[in-house]
Amino acid sequence: MSDLLTFYDFRVLIPIGIAASVAYLGIYIWKYLIVWPIKTFLSLRFVILFFKAIVNPFKIKQYPPPYKPNKKRNSNKKTKANGTNEVQGKIVKRSQVDQYIFNQSTLNATANSIFSPEFQYCEELTRDALFEKYPDHAKKRELCSICIENLHSKDLLLLLPCDHVYHRDCLHDFKRTLQTTNSNQVVMVRCPTCQLNLVRLYQYYIDHGLDFKEVKFDNKG
Ligand SMILES: [Zn+2]
Ligand SMILES: [Zn+2]
C-alpha cells in the first residue's frame, strides 16, 4: 500500500466535501441572508423614490387643507390668538383680523393659491336664493358695484363676509385683473366696497381653527 494520496482517497474526499459544504453554505448565507435583503431594501426604496419623483410634479397639493373642526379651539371658551386679541365666542371682529400678526409666507401662499381660497368663505348663491335667505338684501335693491349692473334673479352671486354682494364672475375677473396688473406682487383681494382683505380674513379663520359657517363676522367691530 502506498501512502501516496490519490484523489479518490477518503482522506482527500472528506475534507474536500466538508470544504465544499462550508463554501456552499457560506455562499448561500451571503446570497440570501445578506445580499438579497439589502438588494430588496434598496430596490424598494428606489422604487418608492422613483414613483415619488414621477408623481410629485403632477400632484397638486390640496390647498387650502380640508377643514377639520377643532373642538378644543372652536369652543365658547376664550381662544388665544397669536396676535394681540382673542377670539371670544363665535364672533370675529374686523379689528381682530387687522391686528393679528400673520405668518407672511403662509399668507402669501394663500394669496397666490390658484384655488382662490378666500372666495370659499363667501357664500355662492343666486339672487333669488340670496333674497330668500337674507330678506334684508331684497329691500336694498343692490347693484353689483364691479359691473354696475342690476342683480338678476338667476345671476350667480358671491356674498362676502362683510355682507357686500357681487356677481361671482365679476369678483373673479376683478381678482384676475388685479393679478395681471400687479404680476410681480402678491395680490390680496379686498372687497371693492369696504376694502375688507379677504385673504387675511380667510387665513385668520384657518389659523384659529374657525369654521366660517359657525362664526359671525363683525365688519364694524
Ligand atoms: Zn357684476
Ligand atoms: Zn365689503
What ipTM does the predicted assembly reach? 0.95
β-strands 216-218, 91-93 pairing: parallel
32 C-alpha to ligand 1 centroid (Å): 72
Joined together, the cell numbers standing for residue 215 give 362664526
First and final C-alpha spacing in the chain? 117
125 C-alpha to ligand 1 centroid (Å): 14
Joined together, the cell numbers standing for residue 162 give 362683510
32 C-alpha to ligand 2 centroid (Å): 70
Measured from the alpha carbon of residue 198, the closest ligand is: 2
193 and 145 Cβ atoms separated by less than 8 Å: yes
Regions in the chain scoring below 70 on pLDDT? 1-5, 7, 56-89
Other C-beta atoms lying within 10 Å of the C-beta of residue 164: 19
Question: Residue 25 has what pLDDT?
Answer: 92
Question: Residue 74 has what pLDDT?
Answer: 45
Other C-beta atoms lying within 10 Å of the C-beta of residue 45: 10
Question: Residue 186 has what pLDDT?
Answer: 86
Measured from the alpha carbon of residue 165, the closest ligand is: 2
208 C-alpha to ligand 2 centroid (Å): 22
Greatest Cα pair distance, the chain, in angstroms, is 128
Q: Cα angle vertex 130, ends 125, 134, to 5°?
A: 140
Question: Residue 157 has what pLDDT?
Answer: 93
149 C-alpha to ligand 1 centroid (Å): 6
- Separation between Cα atoms, residue 221 and residue 219, nearest integer Å: 6
Question: Residue 20 has what pLDDT?
Answer: 93
Going along 64-167, which residue ranges are E strands?
A: 79-80, 86-87, 91-93, 123-126, 143-144, 149-150, 156-159, 165-167
201 C-alpha to ligand 1 centroid (Å): 22
Alpha-carbon separation of residue 137 from 8, 110, 115, 142, 159 (angstroms)? 109, 30, 28, 7, 10
In this structure, which residues have their CB less than 5 angstroms from ion ligand 1?
Answer: 144, 146-147, 167, 170
Measured from the alpha carbon of residue 174, the closest ligand is: 1
203 C-alpha to ligand 2 centroid (Å): 17
122 C-alpha to ligand 1 centroid (Å): 15
79 C-alpha to ligand 2 centroid (Å): 26
Q: Is 160 left (phi over 0), alpha (psi -120 to 50) or beta?
A: beta
Question: Residue 64 has what pLDDT?
Answer: 53
- Separation between Cα atoms, residue 200 and residue 218, nearest integer Å: 15
Measured from the alpha carbon of residue 142, the closest ligand is: 1
171 C-alpha to ligand 2 centroid (Å): 12
